[in-house]
């Protein structure tokens, strides 16, 4: 959970769900208020005499009574099943939040803000036992007796628990991934959101600072031969934690009353020393013996992929489709680039126009000249947010939420994996802000590396990035999704990375289709789509086919037209994570497929804004569910859902 939390989502980190029959009988008033149709007897016959009428009534009474008794029994069974599931789900949530106080803070439950997760081997085993116990409870239920809403939440919960057990027992990050023990987010989450007075939040910070040595001790006991790149990244993040406490935390300490200020400063200084000691252990003890294999291998990769992409596509299917779209997208990119190429100064048009890659590269190089710097990247991102919001409203594309979004500089302890992320308020948090975090280049980067980075993230690319991360991408979708209603909070605790990334990349395409940013932004969007395709290719080839760094870099830079700095960062990310990079392509494929099927079904009655408002109203659930919720006609090959028994078909 910690290792992939900075990748955008997930925060969303990613329990995947299965297809069910939610919405089949939903009322127009609200899709979650399910009505039960007992049946109403209507005597449409006009009897020819009182005797015929009387006889009909006499004959009808036992039939009607039998129907009513059967309906009542069925309804009672359904009510009992729903009540049982809701009790189990709510009980699990209570135990889950108590066992994982860091996630509870993120979600907006602040009862255990002074605590950290127990990541000792005993704590890990308790987490496994919790999940297995509730899996037993779920497996004992008759899913067909649940209403449509609860069937969805049942599927989400079951597949999430199964994925967690698989992660703990097969992938074993507690043994192989030192990034799991990075607690910077657990401290920062108490500072970033003003959910309580500062004095109260700082008392929680004190509690977690006191609990921090136990996490480090667990790491020392648990970690055994991790991959070198994981330990190197953990060392970098650990240094960021020192900056978090010495710089970021100090800004909050300075605002405290003097008596509380002195106490926490002493504790802070003591904790910084613990972090430094832990860093020395990482560097001098763990790093020299970090010889583990970062590649998952075919078996584990395929098992994990089935959870992460909800069985929508297999590894060979992803590769075949991505490689074909790589060819098609390059062709579209050339068609978009050619008019821009012809507008370049004569000195920059030395290539033959039939040189597809050369024309694309020349146009991208020219666009890359307009780029931000470390000094103005955050201000420029703010301008792009205003621009994208105005465009969405002017074109009536989707309802824009009123909840605030704040663009911030990404905290140092979270850098090293992703360039940007969207952090929305937790589902249990009321009135919180959404943060759109942008990462400037680290201070120790060379001038050439910094230049390469900003040529990649030029002005036009940043506009497309803001579409993805904020408007109408992650920010809009997560704010809307957190309002989804259901008897339990399951769909809010276990959000789908497939939906989140599928929606965000779909909105990139949708915005340029409506003309946002002109051909300049379209070039960047197509380049991002190439990146999305290449992400899914290198993800599986690195972990299941032994792709080397040179091979991956060549693919990204030559076929994806990426700058060296971006490609180097993606290689690192692909080594640190697995399967998550494929969620962009698979999720995008699912969202486009659903849009196409829905539009074909509606015909002339299709309304784009109404469609967008509806698909994001059900929460951040696997797109597989939308097939049934929206009552779409079947496609050629619908997937076997991860929790197939909830499909109800």
Q: Count Cα atoms within 13 angstroms, Cβ side, for 231.
A: 26
pLDDT at 435: 86
CB 576 within 8 A of CB 231: no
Element (H, E) at 421: strand 420-423
Give domain status of residue 205, yes or no.
Answer: yes
pLDDT at 112: 98
- The 3 state secondary structure assigned to 278-327 is HHHHHHHHHHHHCCECCCCCHHHHHHHHHHHCCCCCCHHHHHHHHHHHHH
pLDDT at 10: 34
DSSP 8-state assignment for residue 26: B
Name the one residue in this structure whose structure tokens are 């100064």.
345
Residue-wise DSSP of 111-135: TTTT-----SHHHHHHHHHHHHHHH
Instruction: Mark 276-298 as b/e (b = at least 16 C-beta within 10 Å).
Output: eebbebbeeebbeebebebbbee
Give domain status of residue 419, yes or no.
Answer: no
Q: How many DSSP H helices and E strands does the chain contain?
A: 25, 3
> Pseudo-torsion of CA 490, 496, 499, 505, nearest 10°?
140
Element (H, E) at 420: strand 420-423
Q: Are strands 420-423 and 434-438 parallel, antiparallel or unpaired?
A: antiparallel
* Residues whose CB falls within 8 Å of the CB of residue 281, separated by 6 or more in sequence, listed in order: 216, 220
Q: Indicate the pTM of the whole model.
A: 0.82
CA dist 31 and 617 (Å) reads 9
Listed residue (459, 460, 498) closest to 592, CA to CA = 498
Structure tokens at 210: 């006191």
Give domain status of residue 247, yes or no.
Answer: yes
Question: What does pLDDT average to in each consecutive run of 10 residues of the chain (649 residues)?
Answer: 34 31 28 24 29 38 47 63 97 98 95 98 98 98 92 96 98 98 94 92 98 98 98 96 95 92 94 98 98 98 97 97 98 98 92 96 96 90 95 98 86 61 83 83 82 89 94 93 89 93 98 98 98 98 98 97 88 96 97 97 98 96 92 70 38
Listed residue (152, 313, 156) closest to 648, CA to CA = 152
Q: Is 369 exposed, middle or buried (0-12, 13-18, 19+ CB in 10 A)?
A: exposed
CA dist 593 and 595 (Å) reads 5
pLDDT at 648: 32
pLDDT at 427: 83
Domains identified in the chain, total number: 1
Task: Tell me the C-alpha to C-alpha distance, in Å, between residue 303 and each of 68, 166, 180, 422.
Answer: 47, 9, 21, 28
Residue-range definition of the domain harbouring residue 270: 178-225+228-289
Q: What percent of the chain has pLDDT over 70?
A: 84
- Residues paired with residue 409 on neighbouring β-strands, in sequence order: 438
Angle, in degrees to the nearest 10, between helices 582-602 and 518-545: 120
Give domain status of residue 308, yes or no.
Answer: no
Is the C-alpha dihedral spanning 225, 227, 232, 234 positive or negative?
Answer: negative
What region does 546 belong to: left with phi over 0, alpha with psi -120 to 50, or beta? left
Structure tokens at 352: 């033959």
Give domain status of residue 243, yes or no.
Answer: yes
Give domain status of residue 270, yes or no.
Answer: yes
Cis status of the peptide bond prior to 472, with omega within 30 of 0: yes
Structure tokens at 43: 């005597």
pLDDT at 78: 63
Listed residue (288, 273, 294) closest to 547, CA to CA = 294
CA dist 271 and 229 (Å) reads 26
Listed residue (556, 560, 504) closest to 364, CA to CA = 560
Residue 436 φ/ψ, nearest 5 degrees: -110, 105
Give domain status of residue 233, yes or no.
Answer: yes
Three-class SS of residue 34? strand
Give domain status of residue 253, yes or no.
Answer: yes
């Amino acid at each position: 959970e910690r290792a992939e939390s900075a990748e955008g989502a997930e925060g969303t980190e990613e329990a995947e769900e299965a297809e069910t029959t939610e919405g089949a009988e939903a009322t127009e008033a609200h899709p979650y208020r399910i009505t039960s149709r007992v049946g109403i007897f209507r005597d449409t016959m006009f009897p020819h005499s009182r005797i015929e009428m009387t006889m009909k009534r006499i004959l009808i009474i036992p039939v009607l009574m039998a129907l009513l008794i059967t309906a009542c029994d069925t309804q009672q069974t359904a009510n009992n099943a729903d009540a049982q599931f809701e009790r189990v789900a709510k009980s699990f949530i209570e135990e889950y939040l108590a066992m994982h106080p860091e996630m509870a803070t993120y979600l907006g439950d602040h009862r255990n803000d002074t605590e950290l997760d127990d990541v000792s081997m005993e704590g890990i085993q308790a987490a496994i036992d919790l999940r297995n116990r509730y899996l037993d409870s779920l497996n004992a239920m008759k899913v067909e007796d649940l209403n449509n809403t609860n069937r969805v939440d049942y599927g989400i919960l079951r597949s999430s628990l199964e994925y967690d057990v698989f992660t703990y027992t097969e992938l074993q990050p507690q043994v192989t991934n030192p990034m799991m023990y990075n607690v910077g987010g657990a401290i920062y989450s108490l500072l970033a959101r003003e959910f309580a007075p500062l004095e109260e939040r700082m008392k929680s910070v004190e509690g977690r600072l006191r609990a921090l040595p136990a996490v480090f001790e667990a790491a020392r006991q648990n970690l055994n031969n991790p991959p070198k790149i994981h330990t190197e990244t953990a060392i970098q993040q650990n240094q960021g934690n020192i900056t978090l406490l010495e710089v970021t935390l100090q800004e909050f300490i300075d605002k405290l009353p003097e008596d509380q200020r002195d106490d926490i400063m002493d504790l802070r200084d003591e904790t910084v020393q613990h972090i430094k000691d832990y860093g020395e252990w990482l560097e001098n003890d763990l790093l020299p013996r970090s010889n583990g294999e970062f590649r998952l291998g075919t078996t584990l990769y395929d098992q994990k992929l089935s959870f992460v992409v909800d069985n929508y596509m297999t590894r060979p299917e992803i590769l075949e489709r991505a490689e074909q779209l790589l060819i098609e997208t390059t062709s579209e990119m050339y068609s978009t680039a050619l008019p821009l190429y012809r507008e370049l100064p004569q000195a920059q048009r030395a290539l033959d126009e039939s040189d597809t890659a050369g024309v694309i590269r020349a146009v991208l190089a020219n666009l890359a000249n307009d780029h931000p710097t470390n000094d103005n990247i955050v201000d420029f991102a703010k301008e792009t947010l205003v621009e994208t919001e105005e465009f969405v409203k002017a074109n009536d594309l989707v309802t824009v939420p009123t909840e605030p979004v704040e663009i911030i500089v990404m905290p140092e302890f979270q850098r090293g994996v992703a360039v940007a992320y969207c952090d929305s308020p937790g589902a249990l948090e009321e009135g919180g802000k959404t943060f759109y975090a942008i990462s400037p280049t680290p201070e120790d980067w060379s001038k050439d590396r910094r230049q390469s980075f900003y040529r990649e993230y030029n002005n036009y690319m940043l506009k497309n990035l803001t579409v993805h991360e904020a408007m109408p991408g992650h920010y809009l979708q997560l704010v809307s999704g957190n309002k989804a209603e259901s008897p339990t909070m399951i769909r809010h605790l276990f959000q789908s990375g497939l939906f989140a990334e599928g929606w965000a990349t779909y909105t990139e395409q949708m915005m340029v289709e409506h003309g946002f940013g002109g051909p300049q932004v379209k070039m960047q969007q197509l380049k991002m789509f190439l990146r999305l395709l290449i992400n899914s290719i290198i993800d599986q080839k690195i972990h299941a086919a032994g792709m080397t760094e040179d091979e991956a870099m060549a693919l990204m830079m030559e076929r994806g037209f990426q700058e060296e700095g971006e490609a180097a960062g993606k290689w690192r990310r692909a080594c640190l994570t697995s399967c998550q990079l494929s969620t962009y392509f698979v999720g995008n494929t699912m969202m486009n497929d659903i849009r196409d099927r829905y539009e074909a079904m509606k015909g002339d009655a299709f309304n784009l804004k109404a469609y967008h408002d509806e698909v994001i109203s059900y929460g951040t659930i696997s797109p597989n569910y939308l097939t049934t919720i929206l009552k779409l006609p079947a496609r050629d090959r619908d997937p076997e859902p991860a929790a197939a028994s909830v499909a109800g078909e």
